C-alpha cells in the first residue's frame, strides 16, 4: 500500500544545517540508547516531510568513534522517517573520483572496531542481510539529483569505513585500493547496518574532499578537508532539494520495510522483555 514519504537526512561534515526546510523546528528526541548527536530539525521541503540530523552535531563536537549511531537511527525512526538519505565527507581512493565529486555508495567494507553495531542483543538475537546494504530506489534518485544540481557524480562506489579519528597511513590507503574500495570515511558504519536493522531504506552520497594519501607526496590535513567541505556544502543542499523534488508523489513499499521478517532467530518463549522494550521504535512492528 502506498504511503507518504518522510525523509531522514543525515548531514555529514560540512553539512550542519538545511536552509530549505520550511516550518522548521528543532526537536529533542529521547531514545533508550542515549542521546543522539543533536536535536532533529523537523519540517518540510516542497511539501515533503523531512527530518534533518547533523551527524556530528551542530559545530562538529562529536568524534566519529563517539557517534551514538544507535541513538541517531532510533531517533529518526521515532521522528517518523520512512527512508534515510545520508551525506558524508569522504576521501578518494581512485584518480577519477577527484575532490568535489559526489559518489553514490553501493557497497561497504567495515573496518570500525570500537562502536556498538547492532540493536539486537542476547534475548532477541537477529541477523539481517547486508548483502545489498543500500536502497537502489533512493540511490538512483540521489544520482539523478546530483546531475540536476549540476554536480559531478559517480555511482556504484565501495566505501571503506575506518575507525579514525586519525587519517590512514600510506600502507593502509594503498591496501584499501587493492581491496577494491573507492572512497574512505569514518562514519557510515555502523550507521548503514543500524538503518537496515530499523527497516529504514538507506542511501549514502559521499562528498569527496581529498585523495587520502595513496598518491605519492599527497597527505590529508584538516585544512584541506574543511576547505573542500565548504565548497561542497552548497552543492549538497541543492542536491537534497532536487532529491526531494524527484520523489514520486506516493511512496510505494520497499522490501527493506520488512527486513526483519526472516531475521529474528530467538524463539518467542526466550524473548527478553527488557531487550524488547528498547526496540519499541526500531522493531515495534513485530510486537504489534
Catalytic residue list: 210, 212
Among 177, 185, 175, which Cα is nearest to 210's? 185
- Crossing angle between the packed helical segments 222-246 and 136-148, to the nearest 10 degrees: 100
Which H or E run contains 170? helix 170-179
CB-CB contact of 65 with 165 (8 Å): yes
Please report, to the nearest 10 degrees, the dihedral formed by the alpha carbons of residues 268, 270, 274, 280 taken in order.
Answer: -20
Please give the DSSP secondary-structure letter assigned to residue 3: B
CB-CB contact of 49 with 167 (8 Å): no
Q: Any alpha helices (H) in 117-210, and if so which ranges?
A: 136-148, 170-179, 188-197
Tell me how far apart the alpha carbons of residues 288 and 277 are, in angstroms, rounded to a whole number.
12
- Crossing angle between the packed helical segments 69-78 and 188-197, to the nearest 10 degrees: 40
Neighbours of 279 (CB within 10 A): 21
> What SS3 class is residue 259?
coil
Tell me how far apart the alpha carbons of residues 220 and 94 are, in angstroms, rounded to a whole number.
15
Q: How far out from the chain centre does Cα 121 lie?
A: 22
Neighbours of 116 (CB within 10 A): 13
Tell me how far apart the alpha carbons of residues 268 and 16 are, in angstroms, rounded to a whole number.
42
Amino acid at each position: 500500500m502506498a504511503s507518504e514519504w518522510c525523509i531522514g537526512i543525515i548531514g555529514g561534515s560540512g553539512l550542519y544545517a538545511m536552509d530549505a526546510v520550511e516550518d522548521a523546528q528543532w526537536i529533542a528526541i529521547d531514545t533508550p540508547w542515549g542521546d543522539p548527536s543533536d536535536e532533529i530539525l523537523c519540517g518540510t521541503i516542497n511539501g515533503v516531510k523531512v527530518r534533518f540530523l547533523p551527524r556530528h552535531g551542530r559545530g562538529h563536537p562529536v568524534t566519529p568513534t563517539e557517534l551514538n549511531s544507535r541513538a541517531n537511527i532510533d531517533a529518526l525512526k521515532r521522528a517518523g522517517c520512512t527512508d534515510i538519505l545520508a551525506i558524508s565527507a569522504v576521501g578518494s581512493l581512485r584518480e577519477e573520483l577527484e575532490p568535489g565529486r559526489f559518489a553514490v555508495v553501493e557497497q561497504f567494507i567495515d573496518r570500525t572496531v570500537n562502536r556498538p553495531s547492532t540493536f539486537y542483543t542476547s534475548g532477541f538475537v537477529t541477523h539481517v542481510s547486508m548483502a545489498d546494504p543500500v536502497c537502489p530506489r533512493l540511490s538512483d534518485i540521489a544520482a539523478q539529483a546530483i546531475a540536476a544540481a549540476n554536480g559531478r557524480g559517480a555511482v556504484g562506489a565501495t566505501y571503506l569505513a575506518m575507525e579514525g579519528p586519525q587519517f590512514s597511513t600510506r600502507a593502509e590507503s594503498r591496501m584499501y585500493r587493492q581491496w577494491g574500495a573507492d572512497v574512505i570515511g569514518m562514519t557510515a558504519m555502523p550507521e548503514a547496518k543500524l538503518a537496515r536493522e530499523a527497516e529504514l531504506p538507506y542511501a549514502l552520497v559521499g562528498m569527496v574532499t581529498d585523495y587520502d594519501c595513496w598518491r605519492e607526496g599527497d597527505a590529508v590535513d584538516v585544512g584541506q578537508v574543511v576547505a573542500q567541505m565548504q565548497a561542497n556544502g552548497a552543492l549538497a543542499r541543492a542536491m537534497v532539494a532536487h532529491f526531494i523534488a524527484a520523489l514520486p508523489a506516493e511512496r510505494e513499499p520497499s522490501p527493506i520495510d520488512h527486513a526483519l521478517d526472516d531475521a529474528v532467530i530467538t524463539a518467542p518463549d526466550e524473548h527478553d522483555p527488557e531487550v524488547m522494550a528498547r526496540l519499541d521504535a526500531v522493531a515495534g512492528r513485530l510486537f504489534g
